[in-house]
Structure 1
Amino acid sequence: MLPHFVTLHSGALNRRINCAVYLPADYETSPDKRYPTVYLLHGLGGSELDWHFKGNAAETIAYLTRNGELTDSIIVMPSDGGYDRGTFYLDWYDGSGNFGQYFIHDLVPFIDRRFRTFADREHRGIAGLSMGGFGAFLLALRNSELFGAAASISGALALMPDYDAMALTPAWHPSNSARLVGPLDGPYSEAHNLAALAVKALAGANYPALYFDCGTEDYLYAANKWFKSELDKCAYPHRFESFSGEHDWHYFSTHLEKALCFINAFFTGRRDD
């Protein structure tokens, strides 16, 4: 399976952004058929090509589809738009990049216009690794009218404490934390705290189904345990699993299957949180 490459103009970022898309095998031969959509996000310093070339996504999707574990779906692998800056898929505090607006107001409508999707939350899910795991949960919890299910693989879920861990990665710059969310005890930072967003989403009519897992040797494992404890406190339904593993592509690619199967269960009316 090879991805289709598309480019969209983002009004939020005032530039063109690349995106890789897997289409179902029968997409061209079934012109009246519509499909669910899964957005698959890359991590810090990555690109729209990561899941295809590093994560064996094509093989995993083909295997799950062939075995009836994944409904024929459109899989969208977008660039975060940050050119290696590590956007965390949010609008930056310093105003230098509206990466959240790009995703919600530019990318999702573009995909629904360009491809034959079911353009509703019941048929739209989102997943990601590391920074993309945070982005998947952030975008789903803040936009539950758009996303019905979200999954995180080795996610940077406690964004503020995770800055120290992220500083160990080559793509991270020490000034990024202040640029992203401002003072860590400020209101803008709190507005991007996943635990607070979960409480708010749970009070609404619809809240996204959440799945996340992390390797026990991963430097982000403590952040994942923290987020699980916060979800337990507010009685937010979720599934969390931990496995032996580190923060690497072996773990990410191996556990993509679990993320996709969880989202697919939501698509087929078998919510599994």
Structure 2
Amino acid sequence: MIFFISTLCYLQHMKQLTTLLFFFFLSFHLFAGKVDTITVFSNSMQKEIKCVVITPKKYKKSKERFPVVYLLHGYSGNYASWIKEAPQLVQKADELQMMIVCPDGGYYSWYFDSPVDPKMKYETFVSKELVSYIDSTYKTIADKKGRAITGLSMGGHGALYLAVRNKDVYAQAGSMAGGVDIRPFPDKWQIKQVLGAITTNKENWDNYAVITQVETLKNGELNLLIDCGLGDFFLEVNRNLHQKLMRLKIDHDYTERPGVHNGAYWGSAVDYHLLFFKKGLGKK
């Protein structure tokens, strides 16, 4: 008798759990966006480049135009890195009614048009060729007011670098655990393959660093969000960038919080970036 009651309770519990799981997956299906992998031809590099494109669930039937957040991966990553480390992006695209585009930035491009390797032109690809393709293919707000760019680590540097140099393209930019000053790391992450060795190409390292590029900014030209973990090896360069922006009187949002340089940190930080951008995307 006791065995029968225990079995019955177990079966009822499993039925309730199954029902909850069913509604969870049904809810995810009803409210999640759509993920596609596309290839875009880069005329500047003469090759096809893969990108992940996430659209809201109502995108296909909607007559609206959607803002776009360009999301850049880090060193050694690729176009699929973000969707693996932050699968909630599919649901976030639907919640916030925005498109998210994750381009492949190469293993170590740092999103530069390399001054030493003419075959590496990732600034041109991301900020010109890709933006043009996305605007001509999808229902986007085809104006800077409808675009933001952010990324992690190498991609954090890349997002700020591209936004500062292409202020006519982006209205907002962010960085998560970004390597915002590359100069303290002359032998790391293959940067010297893109800029040349710092001992013989110091001018390249100075000119291609975010912390020097921001000197061209005027207050209000970009809506900026920068964050870094307290245990991150990029914390000092982020603090230095924050201090420099304050000296330049450039308004920006800066946050330090617990975390190290890993997927757990930026997999969470990206939610804040999307929400931050949502408040300004599409507005004049």
TM-score of the two chains, using structure 1 as the length reference: 0.85
- Cα deviation 1:40-65 (Å, max 9, x = unaligned): 11000101111111223425615xx5
What SS does the corresponding residue of 2:100 show, helix, strand or coil? strand
Contact 2:156 2:180 in 1 (8 A): yes
Alignment equivalent of 2:174, drawn from 128, 131, 151: 151
CA distance in 1: counterparts of 2:92 and 2:191, whole angstroms: 37
Deviations 1:178-210 (A, max 9, x none): 438884531x3333232332221217xx61111
Structure 1: distance between partners of 2:79 and 2:248: 35
- Distance in 2 between residues matched to 1:228 and 1:87, nearest whole Å: 24
Partner of 2:148: 125
SS at match of 1:240: strand
Counterpart pick for 1:226 among 226, 233, 240: 240
Do the aligned partners of 1:92 and 1:180 also contact (CA within 8 Å) in 2? no
Q: Which has the higher helix share?
A: 2
Within a 5 Å distance, the mapping from 1:53-72 to structure 2 comes to 53-58=84-89, 61=92, 65-66=94-95, 70=96, 72=97
Runs of 4+ in 1 over 6 A off after TM superposition: none
In structure 1, what is the equivalent of residue 58 of structure 2?
A: 26
How far is 1:5 from its partner?
Answer: 1.2
For the structure 1 residues 174 and 19, does the alpha-carbon distance in structure 2 shift closer, same or farther, using more than 3 Å as the test?
closer
1:189 paired to 2:205: yes
- Corresponding residue of 1:42: 73
Counterparts of 1:160 and 1:60, CA distance in 2: 38
Distance in 2 of aligned mates of 1:262 and 1:78: 21
Output the CA distance in 2 between the equivalents of 1:8 and 1:261: 28
- 1:92 and 2:114 aligned: yes
1:253 and 2:267 matched = yes
SS across alignment from 2:202: coil
Percent of matched pairs sharing the same residue:
26
Question: Residues 37 and 180 from structure 1, CA distance in 2 versus in 1: closer, same or farther, beyond 3 angstroms?
Answer: farther
Sort the Cα spacing of 1:173 and 1:185 in 2 relative to 1 into closer, same or farther, 3 A. closer
> 1:235: how far off?
0.7
- Computed over aligned residues only, the root mean square deviation of the Cα atoms, in angstroms, reads 2.1
Where do residues 67-216 of structure 1 align in structure 2 (5 Å cutoff)? 70=96, 72-80=97-105, 82=106, 84=107, 86-94=108-116, 95-163=118-186, 167=188, 172-173=189-190, 175-176=192-193, 178-179=195-196, 183=200, 185-186=202-203, 188-202=204-218, 207-216=221-230
Q: Distance in 2 between matches of 1:109 and 1:98?
A: 16
Change (3 A) 1:59 1:104: closer
Q: Which has the higher contact order (CA 8 A, sep 6+)?
A: 1
> Aligned match of 1:242 in 256, 259, 262?
256
Larger Cα Rg: Structure 1 or Structure 2? 2
Structure 1: give runs of 5+ residues left out of the alignment.
Answer: none
Answer whether contact 1:6 1:19 (CA < 8 A) is retained. yes
Gaps of 5+ in 2: 1-32
1:9 counterpart = 2:31:
no
SS in structure 1 at match of 2:75: coil
Over residues 92-127 of structure 1, what are the superposed CA-to-partner deviations in whole Å (9 max), with x where a residue is unaligned?
121341111111221110010110111111110001
Confirm or deny: 8 A CA contact 1:60 1:256 kept in the other structure: no
Q: Is the 8 A contact 1:199 1:234 kept in 2?
A: yes
Letter paired with 1:58 = L
Shift of 1:262: 1.3
